[in-house]
Amino acid sequence: MLKKRLGIPLLIAIGMLLTAVVVYADMKMVNAVNAWDFEANPNPGFTHALQPMAIDCVTWIPFWYEFSWDNDVYPTPKDQTAYYPAAVDRLELYPQDACPSVPYSTTTGYGDTTPWASTFEYAVYHQDNPPGSGYGFMTTANWELVYCDRDDDGDFDSADLSHTPPRYRNTIIDDPGDIDDGFAVLAQNVITDTECVGNCFTELITTLFVNLDTDCDGDITDEFTGTEPISGTIYHAYLNGGLCFFAEALVPCTNDPLWDGNVQARITRLGGEVTINFHQDLEATPVEISSFTARWYEDRSRLLILGAVAAVLGGAAVGALVWRTRPAQR
């Protein structure tokens, strides 16, 4: 009987946890966030493995993330309080309706909500914890909604991740400013010191909104399904594995303090996140070593010359002294 009394509450608790996972999962965080590894040999490409980070002030690292979805709808004003925890920052940025320009219909059940919408964050480590306080990424840009198919063969696979050049992509929306278009930047490169306590001092967080059902009728909008060919008769893949997020992040400078440990970037929505790590390589500054070697050779040559001069002068002085102290000749 005691086992039954303990088992029933346990089953209820497990059920509540499973329900919570479902509630927080309109955009599923099941795919890896990738970045372009410029130093991978012999085949560079997008990967989620630990990557080297240049420190040259000019390298923009491209990021690539594949969207994935389930059947849960985007929160409306009726259920937003239950959907998002009140303790999470920046909730005021999140649109209350997926389709604000479409009136809600009690007859059809559509109008301001859809399972194809979500708010998410693209965040990168910016400054390390004291005392070193090294820099990670300096800024991000070029946030775009793109087709995952990069090699124009109609699907998304490993060949797309290794397709060159790094920044080649088939863009759907490259100016994310209007929620009604299905892709919007809600806040960009906000310096935040509350999200990565213990791992970094500040992050740069860009908050975005994506909606693939812009009329909120329950079906993906045609422009996102790839109904139009991009070259000849090749069509893009359908949504599942077909639509991705692209962005770029700028690396720090050689004269900035180095990061102590790994620099991290992430794609996050409430209820889950995926991350990728970078390490800064000290070998990225060969000019200093070369300069040091040249100075060492120059200094040693100077010492050899001075030593030779001193030897000559010393020999002359000794010779003169010997000459003066020689016995007088009669």
pLDDT (tens digit, 9 = 90+) per residue, 281-299?
Answer: 765 433 333 333 333 334 4
- Of 22-36, 63-77, 89-103, the poorest mean pLDDT is in 22-36
| pLDDT class of 68 with cuts at 50, 70, 90 | confident
Task: Find the mean pLDDT for residues 155-173.
Answer: 92
Residue 150 CA to residue 160 CA, distance in Å, equals: 5
> Does residue 26 carry a pLDDT above 50?
yes
Among 155, 136, 161, 77, smallest CA distance to 111 is for 77
Q: For residue 86, give every residue at least 6 positions away whose Cβ sits within 8 Å of its Cβ, in sequence order, or none.
A: none
Contact at 8 Å (CB) between 183 and 209?
yes
What pLDDT is recorded for position 187? 93
Task: Find the mean pLDDT for residues 77-84.
Answer: 59
pLDDT 10s digits, 193-251: 988 878 899 999 999 999 999 988 888 887 787 654 444 444 444 444 489 999 999 99
More confident position, 136 or 100: 136
What pLDDT is recorded for position 56? 93
Two structure tokens written together for 316: 């002359």
What pLDDT is recorded for position 287? 34
What pLDDT is recorded for position 43? 86
More confident position, 89 or 193: 193
| pLDDT class of 158 with cuts at 50, 70, 90 | very high
More confident position, 128 or 5: 128
| pLDDT class of 52 with cuts at 50, 70, 90 | very high
Residue 49 CA to residue 5 CA, distance in Å, equals: 47
Side by side, the strands of the sheet bearing 243-250 are: 45-47, 33-37, 60-66, 243-250, 139-147, 170-173
What pLDDT is recorded for position 22? 32
| pLDDT class of 303 with cuts at 50, 70, 90 | very low
Which amino acid does the sequence have at 313?
L
More confident position, 307 or 288: 307
Which helix (H) or strand (E) segment is 46 a member of? strand 45-47
Q: What are phi and psi of 324, to 5 degrees?
A: -70, -30
Q: Across the strands, what pairs with 206?
A: 122
Omega cis (within 30) before 130: no
Contact at 8 Å (CB) between 145 and 243?
yes
- The total number of residues shown for the chain amounts to 330
Two structure tokens written together for 147: 């087709």
Share of residues in the chain with pLDDT > 90 (%): 37
| pLDDT class of 163 with cuts at 50, 70, 90 | very high
- Of 58-72, 92-106, 174-188, 267-281, the poorest mean pLDDT is in 92-106
Average pLDDT over the chain, rounded to whole? Answer: 76
Candidate ranges 54-68, 220-234, 269-283; pick with highest mean pLDDT: 54-68
| pLDDT class of 49 with cuts at 50, 70, 90 | very high
